[in-house]
Chains A and B, each alone.
Chain A
Amino acid sequence: PSRKQTPTAEYPQGRRQAQLEQKEPFRPKSPQRKQIERESHHKRLQGRKPSSAERTCKGRRKRNAKASLKDQRTLPKKKKEVLKKETHKKIKKPRSSSLASSTSSGESLSEEELARILEQVEEKRKLIATMRNKPWPMAKKLTELREAQAFVEKYEGALGKGKGKHFYAYRMLMAKKWIKFKRDFANFKTQCIPWEMKIKDIESHFGSSVASYFIFLRWMYGVNLVLFGLIFGLVIIPEVLMGMPYGSIPRKTVPRAEEEKAMDFSVLWDFEGYIKYSALFYGYYNNQRTIGWLRYRLPMAYFMVGVSVFGYSLMIVIRSMASNSQGSTGEGESDNFTFSFKVFTSWDYLIGNSETADNKYASITTSFKESIVDEQESNKEENIHLTRFLRVLANFLIICCLCGSGYLIYFVVKRSQEFSKMKNISWYQRNEVEIVMSLLGMFCPPLFETIAALENYHPRIGLKWQLGRIFALFLGNLYTFLLALMDDVQLKLSTEETIKNITHWTLFNYYNSSGGNESVPRSPLHPADVPRGSCWETAVGIEFMRLTVSDMLVTYITIFLGDFLRACFVRFMNHCWCWDLEAGFPSYAEFDISGNVLSLVFSQGMIWMGSFYAPGLVGINVLRLLTSMYFQCWAVMSSNVPHERVFKASRSNNFYMGLLLLVLFLSLLPVAYTIMSLPPSFDCGPFSGKNRMYDVLHETIENDFPTFLGKIFAFLANPGLIIPAILLMFLAIYYLNSVSKSLSRANAQLRKKIQMLREVEKIHKAVKGRTTVTNSEDTPKNSSKNATQLQLIKEESISHSPNQTQAMDKKAQGAGTSSAYGRISQPASWNLLGSQPPEVRLDSGHHQSQPQICRSTSGKRAQRQPPH
């Protein structure tokens, strides 16, 4: 295996080793390999016998194994066994080595392994022979017998019986190769995870919380790729391939008035002109029921894709939330040992960068300080009235800010509608909404932070408040924007009727005026000249498109100015400045996790809202996420410094997911409202001419399905059926909710019980410790010995082969009698095991290391005794 294959990314543990290894310069490997092979060959030529140490070791192991089996074999027999085995080995050795020489030294079967397997096979055979005499229940005997037989069958070849031997060796070789292949494949898979190395790099410099943002970004990118595939595969590409070409009908043509400017960059930049009349927007699609030779039902597909975008997003968000929360239940008892954990486990041994190490020092210090502050906070008495007053004041100020920003946006959107009616408007007037929204998003969060300083909250709680407020700001802005947009839509809808009449009238006049000369049928009116409606759907789509693009640009410019240029300035001007720029005022920027996550969540909300009216929006978003992945990775590595306070990533992750779910739900509402209750435009989009957009469903069911299916659907849509179904769902939710509540209550109770047991244990121990104060010199040694012994037992208890259980029982008895600790805690843990209901798993499944020290011993007992 060459060095290039070294899997640095697979496990963080691997990294250190890899780093150690990479430090040395590359040296060709082959001479070494050759040397090894030559040597091993040399060895073989010598006809090596097992060294005496090896022999004794094996003999001892074997003896032990037998003892544990409670085998009634006599000593001479045992000796014979050993001898026999050695002769076996001697005979076998040349063969195995001849086989081994054909492969590289690392992959062949070592003699040691062979000997071990041989031993095990012998053991199993003996077990089969003596099975009858064992004092075990029948079921156990049967399973053991089956296990042993399978084992013997599998490894019989190792005993060296003619062809079986070769076959066995071959099989083992293949198995090894297979394992190696699997490992290589796993490495390959890790390499295929996009940006894994980049993220690991960031993680090592900035801690897991910053990395969690990038992991979230990557997850979002994956989700968007799926959405992109859905929309492009099922809507845009069929339309481009099979739909009517550009210019064939009015909705697919740039109107005459816009034609001359339609290719200008400034027009295209606003998503007007040719882009507006392209497959990126709702209005381009025709209301033909089927298109192309495939008879693809495009309007139906459009509707279903719009629904499934939301369906898929909801499903994936909820699923990842559930999988996150499953992991988080395991943190139960650890708050018993907050300080111990901080002392013993706070250092990250993988840190190899001195700057990061400094930051880690700082973060450890802060975390200690925080816990000291927590301690003091609980004891401190404060002027409650002043704090209360300040908090009320702060909230009042922030609500004022929120209302102000909401009104500002409403005002700006209204004004932009007036601007849009005017000709010759400036660039500022055209982009006012986007600029104001971006500015609000930029300046309000710091303002909130300043106001929040009044409140004097604990920083952890303060962060949550801050997040909530920014969330409210974004949400308020978004909804104000939506309301203003809705006003616009209503306005357009009200004028639609007159435009419809005008269109009819124009066409009517046009064709009637040609009545004079019937011999030459007049060519139909050019589609660009047909008067048409305003198509509110496309207008909405364009708004979202522009918002997304401007949001992206503002983010990039902020990063470039606020992070990169600032970092450059601080770095290079520090030599000739009157104060220390790096430590003093401007300093380097920190990576703002909460702000970045929130803006990511909100832009995703906009994508969800807009994707129904602008199918191309998801494509833009995919590009945006892709570029922002690279750009932000670069920016964070080049110009940010790690946080002073590193907060835990795993907990906040689900919080972000919750925000995402909320945003998803909120963005579902306006889309659902427009689909259900607004009539589609009469002359654009796949649903034109219908009363409501969802009528496409009725149409398909009526025309394309057999009549009985249509009847079934009609029956299902009956309110008499839907209302009971909803009621049933509510009942199910109620039931599941109460079940989960009671389970969590039981969980809490058990936890309390454990806590109490621990305290009782402590008192017991303390009493014991005081009585044995005199011989305190050797007690710790004893106890540690016991501990290791017990530890051993615990690890054995994982596997269930018969000799092990036997040996364990024996040891457990020994341990139980020798250690005071074991005696005391045994009854306690019986109780616990007995009373634990099967479905409430106190995260013992996750950590095999977690059970109390005596669990294995008491667990074994508990199997025999009926639970209390």
Chain B
Amino acid sequence: MGSRASSLLRDEELEEIKKETGFSHSQITRLYSRFTSLDKGENGTLSREDFQRIPELAINPLGDRIINAFFSEGEDQVNFRGFMRTLAHFRPIEDNEKSKDVNGPEPLNSRSNKLHFAFRLYDLDKDDKISRDELLQVLRMMVGVNISDEQLGSIADRTIQEADQDGDSAISFTEFVKVLEKVDVEQKMSIRFLH
């Protein structure tokens, strides 16, 4: 398996992924074997069904949204590059990364990129705003049918009222960041990838 993993990964590809995502060599090979084990069709790409087999995603109310985040616009397959690019959001921020690369492109695992990933989970129509309807959909997913629409509506209204700053009755990314500024996103949105 391991040998297959690295033989399928070409060197250049590996280097590029390394550069783009910041994962180490062994992390990439390890994640590649994970990728291939998820790939039931064995065609080098993952489909939505492949992701839905992961129990954590299957039971997550926002699981579909998370899975969607792996796929770029209009596609229903994701290759290893894309897979890694999405996972890179969850790479922990290491100490030496804070100081270097001041002027380079922002790494995928920066705080704002992590937050933006989370924001996109809620922002369905990709207009960089979470509207009341989008909030209602999320709420509906999270509570099921136990609460009446009216009550959910009032919760959504309250949420927007709390977070909204510019009076447009929607939550922009800036406002989203403001809401979550107390949350230790760097730590919470990090997965400890094995080396």
Interface size of A as a range = 35 or more
Chain A residues lying within 8 Å of B101, measured Cβ to Cβ, are: 61
Q: In this assembly, does A415 line the interface, its C-beta being within 8 Å of a C-beta of chain B?
A: no
Q: Are B103 and A65 in contact (CB under 8 A)?
A: yes
Chain B residues lying within 8 Å of A337, measured Cβ to Cβ, are: 162-163, 179
Chain B residues lying within 8 Å of A344, measured Cβ to Cβ, are: 118, 122, 176, 179-180
Return the chain A residue nearest B171 by Cβ. Answer: A340
Q: Are A765 and B183 in contact (CB under 8 A)?
A: no
Which stretch in A12-20, A242-250, A570-578, A687-695 binds the other chain?
A: A12-20
Return the chain B residue nearest A333 by Cβ. Answer: B182
Return the chain A residue nearest B59 by Cβ. Answer: A357
Q: In this assembly, does B138 line the interface, its C-beta being within 8 Å of a C-beta of chain A?
A: yes
Task: Tell whether A792 pairs with B34 under 8 Å between CB atoms, given A14-B191, A336-B162, A853-B177.
Answer: no
Q: Are B191 and A16 in contact (CB under 8 A)?
A: yes
Chain A residues lying within 8 Å of B112, measured Cβ to Cβ, are: 787-788, 791-792
Interface residues of A in 24-74 (CB under 8 A from B): 24, 27-29, 31-36, 39, 43, 51, 53-54, 57, 60-61, 64-65, 67-68
Chain B residues lying within 8 Å of A456, measured Cβ to Cβ, are: none
Chain B residues lying within 8 Å of A770, measured Cβ to Cβ, are: 167
B137 smallest CB distance to A (angstroms): 11
Q: Are A343 and B138 in contact (CB under 8 A)?
A: yes
Return the chain B residue nearest A48 by Cβ. Answer: B11
B185 smallest CB distance to A (angstroms): 6
* Alpha-carbon distance between A393 and B118 when the two chains are bound, in angstroms: 51
Q: In this assembly, does B21 line the interface, its C-beta being within 8 Å of a C-beta of chain A?
A: no
Task: Tell whether A796 pairs with B102 under 8 Å between CB atoms, given A849-B184, A853-B174.
Answer: yes
Q: Are B193 and A17 in contact (CB under 8 A)?
A: yes
Return the chain B residue nearest A65 by Cβ. Answer: B103
Return the chain A residue nearest B27 by Cβ. Answer: A106
Chain B residues lying within 8 Å of A33, measured Cβ to Cβ, are: 2
Q: Are B100 and A116 in contact (CB under 8 A)?
A: yes
Q: Are A51 and B24 in contact (CB under 8 A)?
A: no
Inter-chain residue pair count (beta carbon < 8 A): 242
Q: In this assembly, does A461 line the interface, its C-beta being within 8 Å of a C-beta of chain B?
A: no
B95 smallest CB distance to A (angstroms): 10
Most chain A CB atoms below 10 A, which of B37, B112, B118, B122:
B112
CB-defined interface of A328-362 with B at 8 Å, one 1/0 digit per residue?
00000110111111111111011111100100010
Task: Tell whether A364 pairs with B143 under 8 Å between CB atoms, given A11-B192, A35-B3, A39-B11.
Answer: yes
* Alpha-carbon distance between A354 and B60 when the two chains are bound, in angstroms: 9
Task: Tell whether A761 pairs with B180 under 8 Å between CB atoms, given A57-B19, A801-B99, A807-B103.
Answer: no
CB-defined interface of B124-151 with A at 8 Å, one 1/0 digit per residue?
0001110000010011001110110001
* Alpha-carbon distance between A53 and B16 when the two chains are bound, in angstroms: 9
Q: Are A804 and B102 in contact (CB under 8 A)?
A: yes
Q: In this assembly, does B106 line the interface, its C-beta being within 8 Å of a C-beta of chain A?
A: yes
Return the chain A residue nearest B53 by Cβ. Answer: A23
Interface residues of B in 34-79 (CB under 8 A from A): 34, 37, 54-56, 59-62
Chain B residues lying within 8 Å of A791, measured Cβ to Cβ, are: 110-112, 177
8 smallest beta-carbon distances between A and B, as pairs:
A32-B2, A766-B167, A64-B103, A14-B192, A791-B112, A769-B166, A357-B59, A765-B166
4 extra interchain contacts, Cβ-Cβ under 8 A, other than A27-B2, A353-B55?
Answer: A11-B192, A765-B166, A799-B98, A849-B111
9 A-B residue pairs with CB within 8 Å: A31-B2, A51-B15, A64-B103, A342-B159, A761-B165, A776-B168, A787-B173, A787-B174, A792-B106
